[in-house]
């Protein structure tokens, strides 16, 4: 069995579905993953944890919330000035390489960390490096790429974010130029990253076919469901949905008794959504459920009437290359997808090609869509979408593991 060292910023039980599912299926094809990652408290993907050899590097040991924030800020400063986090990751990786025989290194990141550590290990031990970028700084409308909001102090937080962004991009691009291959999640990302390395392969996010499949379940209410986070309305704008709910309510198409919008979101997202709902007078339609374990998501999606994706127009300063995992999981359960507002780019194209639903550009489209599926729900007690199943297969996590393996084998043959 061949062996790959996976160095990544997040891995289950934390929010790391891409690497978690990949490692699950690598083992089916005679590749043994050994994982090195950062320790975080989040327990979203517990069902994917405990099945792999994982080493966790713990940077944040404080328990008190105030001390925790201070520790995060000081670690960010040390990382900016001295590459603190990558240094610790590199030292942990050396121990793993010296105790194993690896065929290559795969490093996955949403920003830059831990790419420099992975490259340093690859150079030291003459191992090929595949870089997987799930998200990149260029796709964001502002500073949403920061994992926490910095406290404001005489405007220095903006200066710090600017310096951190420049350093992150410089470090990332230096590693990209040396990588044997680069993988990423959308055609837009491919175009951007090819500036730094011509060997960029598109491997979408996707769904696990063992977990996500259609189940026709009747419900007592017409349920619109969203799972995830809202970083800002510039990135994800629910305005068209709120406006449509206000119009359809005024027209007595439905009321907040038979139509509910379920939000499986964190507290920060809830504040943004509540504010938008109040603007249109539709807060009574909203149900805030909080985050749930990832293992609950298939059932939640199958118990919904319409599945909501939030984004914004990609042109200008809008978000770029949005191809969220939620889209692929929604596809797999064959429920109608409502995307507001359409990115008018690759996500809208994918929704159209798979016949999954609507990427809306105006409120009239949203009203028509909701009326259509509300009528279907009234007649059947459930809804379904005529997904093109031939297009669906390529988004399976198992098929995507095969894509990674093809790259690994190319490297093994050609070096």
pLDDT (tens digit per residue) in 67-126: 887 887 788 788 878 899 999 999 999 999 999 999 999 999 988 999 999 999 999 999
Query: Is beta strand 286-288 parallel, antiparallel or unpaired with respect to 222-227?
Result: unpaired
Query: What mean pLDDT do residues 181-188 have?
Result: 97
Task: Domain 222-393: give its CATH code.
Answer: 3.40.50.2000
Q: What is the DSSP letter of 396?
A: B
Query: Is beta strand 286-288 parallel, antiparallel or unpaired with respect to 306-310?
Result: unpaired
Residue 84: which of 102, 59, 63 has the closest Cα?
Answer: 59
Is residue 150 over pLDDT 70?
no
The answer for residues whose C-beta is within 8 angstroms of residue 209's C-beta and 6 or more apart is: 332, 396, 397, 398
pLDDT value at position 345?
95
Is residue 23 over pLDDT 60?
yes
pLDDT value at position 20?
97
Is residue 412 over pLDDT 80?
no
Is residue 199 over pLDDT 90?
yes
pLDDT value at position 144?
66
Q: CA distances (Å), 219 to each of 45, 187, 249, 290, 409, in order?
A: 27, 37, 20, 21, 48
Q: Specify the CATH number for 2-206+396-414; select among 3.40.50.970, 3.90.550.10, 1.10.490.10, 3.40.50.2000.
A: 3.40.50.2000
Whether the domain at 2-206+396-414 and the domain at 222-393 fall into the same CATH topology: yes
pLDDT value at position 47?
93
Phi, psi of 186 (to 5 degrees): -150, 160
> What SS3 class is residue 309?
strand
pLDDT confidence of 264, banded at 50, 70, 90?
very high
Query: What mean pLDDT do residues 343-362 have?
Result: 96
pLDDT value at position 319?
87
Is residue 142 over pLDDT 90?
no
pLDDT value at position 143?
67
pLDDT digits 0-9 by tens, 330-343: 999 999 999 999 99
Is 0.85 topped by the overall pTM? yes
pLDDT value at position 70?
84
Which of 311-325, 341-355, 401-415 is most confident? Answer: 341-355
Is residue 28 over pLDDT 80?
yes
Specify burial of residue 415 (Cβ count, 10 A radius: 0-12, 13-18, 19+). exposed
Residue 131: which of 171, 180, 186, 166 has the closest Cα?
Answer: 180
Is residue 288 over pLDDT 90?
yes
Is residue 151 over pLDDT 60?
no
Other Cβ atoms closer than 10 A to 207: 28
pLDDT value at position 29?
94
pLDDT value at position 57?
97
Residue 89: which of 114, 68, 119 has the closest Cα?
Answer: 114
pLDDT value at position 149?
59
pLDDT value at position 68?
80
In angstroms, the CA 335 to CA 210 distance is: 17
- What are the boundaries of each domain within the chain? 2-206+396-414, 222-393
pLDDT digits 0-9 by tens, 215-252: 989 999 999 999 998 988 998 999 999 999 999 999 99
The answer for residues whose C-beta is within 8 angstroms of residue 216's C-beta and 6 or more apart is: 302, 382, 384
């Amino acid at each position: 069995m061949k062996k790959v060292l996976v160095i990544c910023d997040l891995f289950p039980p934390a929010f790391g579905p891409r690497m978690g599912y990949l490692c699950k299926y690598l083992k089916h094809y005679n590749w043994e993953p050994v994982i090195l990652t950062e320790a975080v408290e989040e327990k979203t993907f517990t069902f994917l944890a405990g099945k792999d050899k994982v080493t966790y590097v713990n940077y944040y040991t404080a328990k008190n919330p105030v001390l925790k924030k201070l520790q995060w800020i000081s670690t960010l400063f040390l990382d900016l000035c001295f590459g603190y986090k990558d240094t610790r990751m590199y030292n942990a990786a050396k121990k793993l390489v010296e105790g194993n025989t690896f065929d290559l290194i795969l490093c996955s990141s949403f920003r830059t960390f831990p790419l420099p550590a992975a490259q340093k290990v690859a150079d030291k031990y003459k191992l090929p490096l595949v870089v997987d970028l799930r998200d990149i700084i260029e796709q964001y409308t502002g500073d949403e790429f920061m994992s926490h909001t910095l406290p404001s102090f005489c405007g220095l937080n903006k200066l710090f974010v600017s310096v951190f962004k420049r350093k992150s991009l410089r470090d990332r691009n230096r590693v990209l130029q040396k990588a044997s291959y680069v993988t990423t999640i959308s055609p837009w990302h491919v175009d951007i990253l090819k500036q730094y390395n011509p060997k960029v392969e598109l491997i979408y996010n996707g769904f696990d076919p063992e977990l996500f499949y259609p189940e026709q379940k009747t419900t007592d209410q017409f349920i619109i469901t969203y799972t995830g986070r809202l970083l800002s309305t510039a990135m994800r704008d629910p305005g068209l949905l709120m406006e449509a709910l206000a119009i359809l309510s005024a027209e007595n198409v439905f009321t907040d008794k038979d139509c509910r919008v379920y939000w499986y979101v964190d507290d920060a997202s809830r504040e943004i959504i509540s504010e938008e709902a109040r603007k249109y007078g539709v807060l009574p339609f909203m149900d805030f459920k909080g985050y749930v374990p990832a293992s609950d998501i298939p059932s939640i999606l199958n118990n919904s009437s319409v599945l909501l994706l939030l984004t914004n127009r990609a042109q200008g300063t809008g978000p770029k290359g949005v191809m969220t995992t939620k889209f692929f999981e929604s596809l797999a359960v064959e429920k109608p997808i409502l995307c507001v507002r359409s990115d008018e780019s690759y996500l809208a194209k994918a929704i159209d090609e798979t016949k999954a639903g609507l990427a809306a550009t105006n409120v009239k489209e949203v009203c028509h869509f909701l009326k259509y599926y509300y009528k279907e729900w009234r007649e059947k007690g459930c809804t379904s979408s005529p997904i093109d199943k031939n297009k669906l297969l390529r988004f399976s996590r198992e098929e995507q593991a095969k894509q990674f393996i093809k790259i690994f084998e190319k490297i093994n043959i050609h070096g």
